Amino acid sequence: MERHTDLFALTRERMRTRHLALRTEQAYLQWLQRYLEFHKGAHPRDLGAPEVEEFLTHLAVHRKVSAATQSQALQALLFLYRHVLEIELPWLDNVTRAARPKRLPVVLSRPEVAALLTQLSGTPWLVASLLYGSGLRLTEGLRLRVKDLALERGELIVREAKGGKDRVTMLPAALETQVRAHLARLRAWYEEERRAQRPGVSLPRALGRKFPDAAIRWGWQYLFPAATLCRDPYSGQLVRHHLHEKVIQRAVQAAVYKSGLTQPASCHTLRHCFATHLLEDGYDIRTVQELLGHSDLKTTMIYTHVMAKGAKGVRSPLDRNGAPPAR
């Protein structure tokens, strides 16, 4: 919307001042645009709580969005009014809330995980193996840099994960040889990049101004760099980002199909498998919570409902008495 260009620019500036993630910035701006379109281009200053309630109710009732999507739209509008327009909205009591279904995560058995990984090779195999072996989210795995590996201690340091928190998880001993070989190939590629004087990698926030040569230092290189350069959304300069998520997602989806799995598995399923299989092995749930980076233990508790012990660990009476022969 051209006549609201200044509003979009100011909103983007306020978000960057507060160091919101780029994806959050993009999502909030998208919700702002949809909010303006819903109200026929009226300026948000001329709208208030009733119009916000009307928009959020429309999302739930007519667009059938999930509770998480409606909540994201609400947070975007609250940010707009509080931090950009500096207007405090009254409590929104009349919003029809989207239903929040209680679903269990998809968890594969150990043979199924092995069958899936067998269908992968190269970088997708290594990334997927880290998702399962270290309990990483896909973005966490792709954002890994060389400096985040502690091979001697068998650890991975996950930087600025969900909620802006760092955490430490394990680097599976079974992957050490493959990771070292990958690092050797990456080092040779890195040396060639430096000889060709190509641009360095993207850096978090203002680090590039504080340490101008960090982008070309070995430690800051992505473990899984993209094949091509792109424009940094903040500086506009050419940089090398990490591998795109869709490269791994498509490879995993193809592997799910080839391995004949019936469950709708994805990259995130491997993280679910990591947690569930650790609990099945008898590890303390608090330890699993720390490895996953969950703030609330209740989030980790959901994996106790999908452990391979039957429904709530109860033995069926048919198993105790024996099934009668079929007639």
- 182 as an active site residue: the answer is no
C-alpha distances (whole Å) from 3 to each of 42, 43, 79, 146 are 10, 9, 20, 45
User: Could you tell me which of 95, 137, 132, 136 has the C-alpha nearest to residue 117?
Assistant: 132
Out of 162, 167, 182, 217, which one is annotated catalytic? 162
- Cβ proximity of 33 and 102 under 8 Å: no
Out of 145, 271, 272, 277, which one is annotated catalytic? 271
- Cβ proximity of 150 and 171 under 8 Å: yes
- 271 as an active site residue: the answer is yes
- 303 as an active site residue: the answer is yes
- What is the amino acid identity at position 38? F
Out of 137, 145, 240, 277, which one is annotated catalytic? 137
Helix (H, G, I), strand (E, B) or coil at 12: helix
- What is the amino acid identity at position 322? G
| Strand 155-158 versus strand 149-150 pairing type | antiparallel
241 phi and psi angles, rounded to 5 deg: -95, 180
- 137 as an active site residue: the answer is yes
Q: Which helix (H) or strand (E) holds 224?
A: none
> Under 8 Å CB-to-CB from 153, ≥6 apart: which residues?
none
- 153 as an active site residue: the answer is no
- E strands of the chain, at which residues? 149-150, 155-158, 167-170, 230-231, 238-239
What is the distance between the alpha carbons of residues 113 and 132, in angstroms, rounded to a whole number?
8
Helix (H, G, I), strand (E, B) or coil at 230: strand
- What is the amino acid identity at position 134? S
- 250 as an active site residue: the answer is no
Out of 35, 132, 190, 303, which one is annotated catalytic? 303
Fill in the DSSP letter of residue 83: I
Catalytic positions: 137, 162, 268, 271, 294, 303
